[in-house]
Amino acid sequence: MSASTDNNLKFNAEDSWEDMVLPYVLDELSEDEKSTFELTLERSELCRLRVYEMRRTVQQLRDVPRDRMSRDLSVGVLGEIAKLEKGTANPTLWRSHPWSQVLKAAACVAFLAVGLMLAKPLLRPGGRDVVDNIVRQNAQKKEAVARGLDWLAGAQESTGAWDGSKWGGSARNDVGLTGLALLALVSCDEGADCSYEKEIDLAVRFLAHAQRGVGVIGSETRGPGYDHSIATCALLEVYARQPDAEIESVLDKALRHIAANRDSSGGWGYGSEGPTLTSVAASEWSALALTRASALGWTEYRAEARTGFDTKYSDVENVARLMKGQTDFHQSYLVAIRLASTSRDEVLSLLTELQSRIISTQEMEGPFAGSWGLSDRLSGAGGRVYTTSMATLTLNALSQPAGS
């Protein structure tokens, strides 16, 4: 595997990502261009906002009734120009001299002006309130994420790991928890104060040293379940920021192990010795790792990632389910990364509510300030390191739900 060629494409393309927003929304990009653009989409809040705005604009233009558009001045003007060129225009209206070119240009300008007026959200009733709401919720989200990341950085051990047993969880999950915390630190939004390079480097070294001969990061008896797949996802994000030969070598072996341990259903279980029951959660993380790897240049996993285990967290009913009872941080994150770029108003409204709920449960005072408490079904395994990592990851994944 050689990821360098595809990475060159990625880093060069990021310089002009704004030119790809409209083709992406209209689904006119090639598979490689789409994968390249989505790398920037995941890391850049500005990019996500541009995609959100463009989706809304395109939808508004598509919703304009056809009979209204047929009465647009530009349609009549262009029609008369066409008649002029065929010699059938009214001679008292059109003259066959250089002014015809000016009229063509004027018609184009009129058409564009109408399109911009239809698309501009501030012209809608309450448009300014919508924009203000987006700005306010984004500010709240960034503050919550910053507090969470600071808490995670302070909870890291000198070895580079995060010890769940010190924060209400289990020590046996240190590889998976280190992967989650590393993933959260690496996902810090562009433009924010992301001064966590020391913590990131320590965590990368810990995970690299935890890899066994068969490629598993962590225990060889637990297979490519949570720990291994989460650690692989985290290292892929570090590699996406700055390609490195040592990390690439670790990832080569880790990805091969994931691909080799797929079961007959297309998913993954927890054990690496003999058949095991398929786990939806372990399958999600394994599929995420292969999908991300294929986008970063591990093209041998592209087909596998696209035909991977099919999970069901993709519709409004499943988002609504998350709002019942206690917050499920793990499923909230998996839903968020699948739906954050949606333009469906009913989903956006629910994602906005989910974001507000997560922010409201963050500890604001005392020794645990900045973290999230032991409030969901997996807290006993991962403690505050798990809940805080997942909460910050979810908030970063929720792109712009406030504009509904």
Average pLDDT in the chain:
75
* pLDDT over 50 (residue 133): yes
Contact in structure between 380 and 169 (CB atoms under 8 Å): yes
Phi/psi-derived region of residue 21, left when phi > 0, alpha when psi is between -120 and 50, beta in every other case = alpha
* CA 19 remoteness from chain centre: 19
Report the alpha-carbon angle 82-84-89, nearest 5.
110
More confident residue, 197 or 193: 197
Provide mean pLDDT across the span 107-123.
50
More confident residue, 327 or 160: 160
Task: Say how far apart CA 354 and CA 322 lie, in whole Å.
Answer: 8
- Rg of the chain taking only CA atoms, in angstroms: 25
Task: Name the 3-class secondary structure at 41.
Answer: helix
Provide mean pLDDT across the span 5-27.
63
pLDDT at 49: 73
Report which listed range, 345-349, 393-397, 398-402, is most confident: 393-397
Q: Which tokens is 318 given?
A: 């499943």
pLDDT at 7: 40
Least confident of 15-19, 126-130, 147-151: 126-130
Task: Say how far apart CA 310 and CA 352 lie, in whole Å.
Answer: 25
Q: What percent of the chain has pLDDT over 90?
A: 30
Q: Quick one: pLDDT band at residue 293, thresholds 50, 70, 90?
A: very high
* pLDDT over 90 (residue 112): no
pLDDT at 252: 97
Report which listed range, 90-94, 201-205, 216-220, 275-279, is most confident: 201-205
* pLDDT over 60 (residue 44): yes
Provide mean pLDDT across the span 47-74.
64
pLDDT at 386: 96
Provide mean pLDDT across the span 376-402.
83
Provide mean pLDDT across the span 216-223.
70
pLDDT at 314: 46
Q: Which tokens is 400 given?
A: 């712009």
More confident residue, 255 or 323: 255
Q: Which tokens is 292 given?
A: 């991300």
pLDDT at 232: 96
* pLDDT over 80 (residue 273): no
Residue 110's alpha-carbon distances to 80, 312, 328, in angstroms, are 15, 46, 51
More confident residue, 152 or 6: 152
* pLDDT over 90 (residue 117): no
pLDDT at 152: 97
Provide mean pLDDT across the span 227-243.
94
pLDDT tens across 66-109, in order?
544 444 444 555 555 555 555 554 444 444 444 445 555 555 55
- Three-class SS string for 260-275? HCCCCCCCECCCCCCC
More confident residue, 338 or 232: 232
* pLDDT over 90 (residue 127): no
Contact in structure between 148 and 388 (CB atoms under 8 Å): yes
Q: Which tokens is 30 given?
A: 């090639």
Residue 20's alpha-carbon distances to 29, 46, 156, 341, 344, in angstroms, are 8, 13, 39, 15, 21
* pLDDT over 60 (residue 399): no
* pLDDT over 60 (residue 368): yes
Task: Say how far apart CA 278 and CA 162 lie, in whole Å.
Answer: 27
Angle between helices 31-43 and 45-63 (to 10 degrees): 120
What's the predicted TM-score (pTM) here? 0.67
Provide mean pLDDT across the span 231-249.
95
β-bridge partners, 136:
none
Task: Say how far apart CA 375 and CA 54 lie, in whole Å.
Answer: 37
